[in-house]
Structure formats: C-alpha cells, structure tokens
C-alpha cells in the first residue's frame, strides 16, 4: 500500500515536494521523495479580445470556403464568452 508521510498541500499552484511511503507485505516500508506539479485550472478571462491571425485557405473550384478556416487562432477566439451571458460564445 501507499501513504503520504505528510499530506501535501495542493491549495496553491506550483511544485510541491512530497514523500510517499511504500508499505511492503512483510511489514517493512520505504519512503520515496516525489514532486507534485499543482496546476491552476481556473479559466483565464481575457482582459481584451485577442487579435485574430489570418491564414490562407485552399478550396476546390466551386466549393464555398468556411470563413473560420481563414482565422488561424479561431480556437483561442472560441473560448471567449459573453460576460453578460456566461457560457455563450461571442464569436
């Protein structure tokens, strides 16, 4: 089985040193030092709208190009939501 020597504090983002105690069936145990990488998954609210980056589009003759394909970073722009209506995309 495995236990913490001391329960790690993950309340703040960053690297947290910790020790795992490995317990063997014969009753012995051994400590193992590790690092826990705590990430902040709080959504970032942009302070301003990001600038779109244009890119060329190639289509077959007669096909209608999708305007979204002309914006290289459209995935970043898709993350912007209307502050008056959370969850509603503004782009």
pLDDT at 78: 64
pLDDT at 4 > cutoff 90: yes
What is the pTM for the complete model shown?
0.48
Q: Can you say how many angstroms the Cα of residue 16 is from the centroid of all Cα atoms in its chain?
A: 19
pLDDT at 34: 96
Q: Specify the residue for token string 């790690």.
A: 8
| Alpha carbon distance 75, 54 (integer Å) | 13
- The 3 state secondary structure assigned to 7-70 is CCCCCCCEEEEEEEEEECCCCCEEEEEEEEEECCCCCCCCCCCCCCCECCCCCCCCCCCCHHHH
- Most confident range (mean pLDDT) of 20-29, 46-55, 62-71 is 20-29
Tell me the two tokens of residue 20: 């795992």
């Amino acid at each position: 089985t495995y236990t913490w020597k001391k329960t790690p504090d993950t309340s703040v983002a960053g690297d947290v040193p910790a020790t795992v105690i490995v317990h063997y069936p014969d009753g012995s145990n051994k400590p193992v030092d590790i690092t826990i990488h705590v990430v902040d998954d709080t959504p970032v609210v942009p302070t301003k709208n990001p600038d779109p980056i244009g890119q060329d589009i190639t289509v077959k003759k007669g096909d209608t190009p999708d305007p979204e394909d002309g914006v290289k970073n459209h995935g970043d722009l898709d993350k912007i939501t209307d502050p008056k209506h959370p969850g509603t995309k503004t782009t």
